[in-house]
Amino acid sequence: MIKKIDGGVTAAKGFEAAAAEARIKYKDRKDMALIYSPVPCAAAGTFTTNVVKAAPVKWDQEIVKHSPSVQAVVINSGIANACTGAEGYGYCEQTAQAAERLLGIPASSVLVASTGVIGMQLPIGRIKDGVALLAGAKADTAEAGLEAAKAIMTTDTKPKYAAAQVEIGGKTVTVGGMCKGSGMIHPNMCTMLGFVTTDAAITKELLQKALSDDVRDTYNMVSVDGDTSTNDTVLLLANGMAENPLIVQEDENYAVFKEALHYVNTELAKKIAGDGEGATCLVEVKVIGAESREQAVMLSKSVITSSLTKAAIYGHDANWGRILCAMGYSGAQFDPERVDLYFESAAGRLKIIENGVSTGYSEELATKILSEEYVTAVADIKMGEASATAWGCDLTHEYVNINADYRS
């Protein structure tokens, strides 16, 4: 049974975090963060599918694949270190070397992550100074975890973190995480920066499998604007300090661990969707009664990425034709004359269409339902038992304002 707890990356035993003001791009705010474990961790990662990959993505892919263990993650916001060539990759190495010197760990056990403007070189002197500040400030407190979550924000309006506990082999195992993501968010790997820590004892191979499998149903099901970032990264570190029996096979203990991981990743994914740039509400699209999961995924993703649907929800307009239209061009085959569609929120539940035709619903009630901060559209295509859920947000005037002037 999953126990939801307060906290983020420092919730799991042993993990420390810190935040520092390095003045990389922003003024009068913290813009670097550190995650640290006093003992070596098994590490797993998933990364952007964009052909244009930022230098930190390339560095982390190598470390996750080839390094025997990881002990630290150094993150900066403001500059993405993307499209920066050999110089940018060299700055990843220099950042890791600074952590090696200041934390007393191998540079090969240091992951790095960057988020912000593409095409600018990092001020490496400030980055190194920031690493020194982080090393001196790290702590295992909830406050330290919260400050780290704040430091990695760019256009985010709030820090995003979650944690949960489960029992494995008579031991309490904790999974906690933080992420950032508000714009350039589209489901094609994980669509943001995410960092998850756990004190579970689990092999590197199973840790990677658990993360890769779970990304499909969580971060990959989020879209804000249809743009897949150059820097998308989700990292998962396991330090084994819970002292549970080592998870070495896909047994009941592995299943319990996956449940906790799924809870944390789902919470983080939904927080990204709800904090989309300029957004006023979190939008959830459920496709049920599908023939296969793949069919349900195609349909739900198509609706959640539809700009016309997102704009209609911003206007609290039950323009269901846009939803059916988005389902129709998804590439998935279904019979539109069998589709039932519902809108749900804290204000109620309303069937909008039945067997592809309007029910003659109350526009007043529909508007009331769509005026809430969390709105769900449920499409039942009546073909089977499979389902999928995608998350996004409405499309507002403010989204354009933010992205028309992002670099200044």
Kindly list the averaged pLDDT for each block of 10 residues, start to end, along the chain of length 408.
Answer: 96 98 91 98 91 92 97 95 95 98 98 92 97 98 97 87 98 97 48 89 98 91 62 92 98 98 94 78 95 97 93 94 96 97 98 97 97 96 97 83 66
Distance CA 222, CA 284 (A): 9
264, 124: one domain: yes
Distance CA 295, CA 283 (A): 20
Helix axes 85-103, 124-137, angle to 10 degrees: 30
Residue 384 to residues 284, 288, 292, 357, Cα–Cα distance (Å) = 21, 8, 7, 21
Q: Which of 233, 253, 274 is the last residue of a domain?
A: 274
Q: Which of 215, 248, 274 is the last residue of a domain?
A: 274
109, 201: one domain: yes
pLDDT, residue 190, reads 36
What CATH number corresponds to the domain at position 82?
Answer: 3.60.70.12
pLDDT, residue 185, reads 46
pLDDT, residue 224, reads 56
254, 291: one domain: no
128, 7: one domain: yes
* Three-state secondary structure call for residue 291: coil
Tell me the residue type at 86: A
Per annotation, catalytic residue among 46, 115, 174, 191:
191
How many domains does the chain divide into? 2
Q: Which of 224, 255, 274 is the last residue of a domain?
A: 274
Which residue range(s) make up the domain with 376?
282-404
191 part of the active site: yes
